Structure 1
Amino acid sequence: GKTTLLNRWLRERQDLAVIINELGDIGIDQHLTGESRVPVTLLSGGCLCCVIQGTLSSTLRNLFMARKNGELPPFSTLVLETTGAADPFGVTAPLEQDPWLQKRFFCQSVLTVVDALAGTRSLERHPEWLEQIHAADALLLSKTAQC
């Protein structure tokens, strides 16, 4: 689903920076993205929308400054891969509330990946996923070939 899409983008585009959010203290997804010249930052230990929300603001500042100082390759697009439990409105809040970030970043779109095989069953177990669908500018159905 999400990691497969992210890997595709990493192969096709070099103007990306990526932030991957993991609930646990040990991240796995950043290793699944393979070899890439694109900067990948891991934010672990909780969900961006609530537990480590302040960490996103500081990470965005650090990425911007590292790019400006030539420490990172230029990027025009930042991809934020959140956990499956993330509230999109909570994740985008720092962009709306921080004047410094507002001048440098904006949320172009929210993309939600939905597992076509487990979709409705998953929604019954995880009602917070309805918020992700509601907030999405676009939905991507994964595993459709297996349906």
Structure 2
Amino acid sequence: MKRIPITILTGFLGAGKTTLLNRLISGSEFRDTAVIVNEFGEVGIDSLLIAQADERAFAMSVGCLCCTVSGDVRLTLLRLLEAAESSTGPAFDRVVIETTGIADPLPLLQAFMTNDFMLSHFALNGVVTLVDAVNGADAIGRFPEAQRQVAVADLVLVTKGDLARDPASQRDLDALIRQLRHANPNAAVVPVREATAEMVFSRAAADPLAKPPDVREWLRFDGGAPPAQEPFTRPHPLA
């Protein structure tokens, strides 16, 4: 059975995930892609902003990704598969899951790497994390979720870099990029304006054994609280 590649699109509040998706889904490269939006409440804020297009499957996953992701996303994917196989819904060759801005991505990664259903039907194609050039450093310094979004990324896209128009802002942007590369040397760090559909959704298949040792430990937690996070600027264990 051919496994369907899944890309996880994450990033802290205001990083620009929906803006990126809206730009990418307008292209022909995005055909046959199912998009799952995870947000709070009965109606997801982001889902109202995502442009809908013919012959593409869009699904809404209700609930907080941080606490209900495993069962919720599995059920959503199962419904999409059943609809495609029974021809009651559109077929799709790829899945993009956009997380809520305050999501810890580790439970979602655990679901894809340890669940038999997920492993047999889907292949984790990569984690793409957006970081706001204006507020990203502050979010990373204050919130463990923002730290982990960067730590597990295969690709980091820096947004709002065009706002760095004076020398001081440019220095802040350069410092943020150095921080991101130091925190996750395995991830490519690219300005979001250079992002293409191929770049974002054609990453190499993720292998949990290839991740740094601390990330592998995070992925092993059994549903309780993950281990305490060390400072974000800690040197990479393999550096």
Task: Tell me whether the two structures share a fold, i.e. TM-score over 0.5.
Answer: yes
Among residues 42, 56, 65, which one is paired with 2:82 in the alignment?
65
8 A Cα contact 2:69 2:108, kept in partner = no
User: Cα RMSD between the aligned structures?
Assistant: 1.5
8 A Cα contact 2:140 2:146, kept in partner = yes
Unpaired runs of 5+ residues, structure 2, are 1-15, 165-239
Give the counterpart letter for 1:112 in structure 2: T
8 A Cα contact 2:57 2:92, kept in partner = no
Q: Which runs of 4+ in 1 moved over 6 A?
A: none
Give, in whole Å, the separation in 1 of the partners of 2:19 and 2:102.
18
Pairs aligned (count): 146
1:44 correspondence with 2:62: yes
1:124 correspondence with 2:170: no
What SS does the corresponding residue of 1:102 show, helix, strand or coil?
A: helix
- Residue matched to 2:48: 31
- Based on CA coordinates, which of the two structures has the bigger radius of gyration? 2
Write out per-residue CA displacement over residues 20-69 of structure 1, whole angstroms, 9 at most, x where no aligned residue: 0002333121121123122211112212x423421111111111111111
- Residue matched to 2:163: 146
Give, in whole Å, the separation in 1 of the partners of 2:70 and 2:78.
13
Write out per-residue CA displacement over residues 50-94 of structure 1, whole angstroms, 9 at most, x where no aligned residue: 234211111111111111111222211100000122222211222
8 A Cα contact 1:61 1:101, kept in partner = no
- Residue matched to 1:16: 33
Among residues 116, 129, 140, which one is paired with 1:112 in the alignment?
129
Q: State the shift of 1:132 in Å.
A: 0.7
Give, in whole Å, the separation in 2 of the partners of 1:69 and 1:140.
37
Q: State the shift of 1:137 in Å.
A: 0.3
What SS does the corresponding residue of 1:11 show, helix, strand or coil?
A: coil
What SS does the corresponding residue of 1:85 show, helix, strand or coil?
A: coil
Write out per-residue CA displacement over residues 97-123 of structure 1, whole angstroms, 9 at most, x where no aligned residue: 221221111110000000111111122
**Normalising by the residue count of structure 1, what TM-score does the alignment of the two structures yield?**
0.90
**Normalising by the residue count of structure 2, what TM-score does the alignment of the two structures yield?**
0.57
Unpaired runs of 5+ residues, structure 1, are none
